[in-house]
Amino acid sequence: MSTTRVAIVTGGSRGIGRAVAERLGREGYAVVVNYASKKADADEAVEAIEKAGGQAFAVAADVADETAMASVFDQAEERFGGVDVVVHAAGVMPLAPIAELDLAVLDRVLRTNVRGTFVVDQQAARRLRAGGAIVNFSSSITRFLRPGYAAYGASKGAVEAATVILARELRGRDITVNAVAPGPTATALFLDGKSEELISTLAKEPPLERLGQPEDIAEVVAFLAGPARWVNGQVLYANGGAI
């Protein structure tokens, strides 16, 4: 059986997820790029990984659909022999004050960000090989607590709680479970709908005086996925020191 480590990256077609998929590909992982709907973007991510000498394939699945995600893990096992790392980067971030929040939008946020985390982590907990790692995505908004972010922040607070509890539940399995909590990062998810003035203001908040880049976050994920065996049950705030 191949000794190549295998990673599933949800939300792997764009933004931070794509940067993570490509970084793990360069680290020698065989990568399964999971995406929701943008097949062309996912195919580009696979092509980039393969051009750099890696192995990858893309598969569409709704992270909140347990049957669809079980199929993603099935395909990873069939193609590559098993799964070692799961990076759950998929998420949505609509913004609105609580008083004006459409509860249907809240339901969508909770379905994708909270149920999706439970669905993905459940499959990972059942299937990961010893020496594996689960990396969830929270957000520094759980510390920033900015107006308009209540639905998103609440969903990420749930992710943080689930992450730490799962790490404890996997005692004896030699599997680490951590979460990365990025600050403002230059992705479409963050930049869409924001004025240049607001983006400039947010970029000046960290002592490093810039927005994070997807590659900055991918570096943290690669650390947690591989060498960081003694980091477990933690939330790592990757925000340039903004708070």
Report whether 199 contacts 191 (CB < 8 A): yes
CA angle 239, 211, 138 (to 5 degrees): 40
The answer to whether residue 1 is domain-embedded is: no
The answer to whether residue 243 is domain-embedded is: no
List, for residues 187-231, the tens digit of each pLDDT value. Answer: 887 887 788 898 888 899 999 999 999 999 999 999 999 999 999
SS (H, E, C) 87-129: EECCCCCCCCCHHHCCHHHHHHHHHHHHHHHHHHHHHHHHHCC
Residue 2: pLDDT band by 50, 70, 90 thresholds? low
The answer to whether residue 193 is domain-embedded is: yes
The answer to whether residue 20 is domain-embedded is: yes
The residues annotated as belonging to the active site are 152
CATH of the domain at 134: 3.40.50.720
Which amino acid, 196? E
Position 198 scores a pLDDT of 87
Q: Is the pLDDT of residue 171 over 70?
A: yes
- The whole domain housing 188 covers 6-238
Position 202 scores a pLDDT of 87
* Residue percentage of the chain with pLDDT more than 90: 88
List, for residues 70-123, the tens digit of each pLDDT value. Answer: 999 999 999 999 999 999 999 999 999 999 999 999 999 999 999 999 999 999
The answer to whether residue 52 is domain-embedded is: yes
Between CA 72 and CA 57 the distance in angstroms is 11
The answer to whether residue 102 is domain-embedded is: yes
DSSP H or E stretch at residue 138: none
**Total structural domains within the chain:** 1
What does the CA dihedral 165, 171, 176, 180 come to, rounded to 10 degrees? 10
Report whether 182 contacts 238 (CB < 8 A): yes
Tokens of 123: 């499959």
